[in-house]
Structure 1
């Protein structure tokens, strides 16, 4: 488990399979991280990964940087549709000093675990 987290934070990427394992470990309270969807609200409504903690659309992220900084001690895992937006976000956040971050390589399309349609928005929605 520790090796998985080190690999993820070093590479700044997590595969769909790794995220599935990590979500299972989190459900067993063996791992703690924050899963953040950075897609827009309408995209979240279509499909989201079960276990998403926060919806933080890229169109509003600049307004919520203080909140992200407060979470910087936790592993933050971001996902979008195909991984393009999150790859750009990781690049920017790294330059801002964030180190405990990763993104889902290939986005939600690469995740074959449980997904929800028309899920209620997470409590931590930031629009």
Structure 2
């Protein structure tokens, strides 16, 4: 109903601190940027699945595990969150502000 009224489903978003906390509790962090972006710095323990590859790699993911999606600014990961929701994943969230927000929050980055 809301989708029909407002055009698209709500993308659950979380802060960098919440993303880190969820990761520490067992959530999988998926970085949907391209490999060259990944090499410039990523969240420790994150897994790289570029956005363009995500639809064909869904079988690699556990539908019951919590998943946090991240990109540079939060736009591509919001799209990835929607894709996962539409594919039946219910425990997904977008890192609001992406890696830009993560770095600004002073959280660790692996290179």
| Contact residue 73 and residue 98 of structure 2 kept, 8 A | yes
For these two proteins, the number of residue pairs brought into alignment is 99
The TM-score normalised by the length of structure 1 is: 0.70
Residue equivalent to 2:52 = 59
SS in structure 2 opposite 1:115? Answer: coil
Unaligned runs of 5+ in 1: 1-9, 118-127
SS in structure 1 opposite 2:69? Answer: strand
Give the Å deviation of 1:43: 0.4
SS in structure 2 opposite 1:116? Answer: coil
Q: Does 1:78 align with 2:69?
A: yes
Structure possessing the higher relative contact order (Cα contacts under 8 Å, 6 or more residues apart): 1
SS in structure 2 opposite 1:63? Answer: helix
Unaligned runs of 5+ in 2: 1-9
Cα distance per residue 1:32-63 (max 9 Å; x no partner): 111111111000001111221x1101121122
Residue equivalent to 1:41 = 35
SS in structure 2 opposite 1:48? Answer: coil
Residue equivalent to 2:99 = 108
The structure with the largest strand share of the pair is 1
The TM-score normalised by the length of structure 2 is: 0.79
Q: Indicate the RMSD between aligned Cα atoms, in angstroms.
A: 1.8
Cα distance per residue 1:52-101 (max 9 Å; x no partner): 1x110112112212112xx1111011100000001111122212221011
Residue equivalent to 1:15 = 15
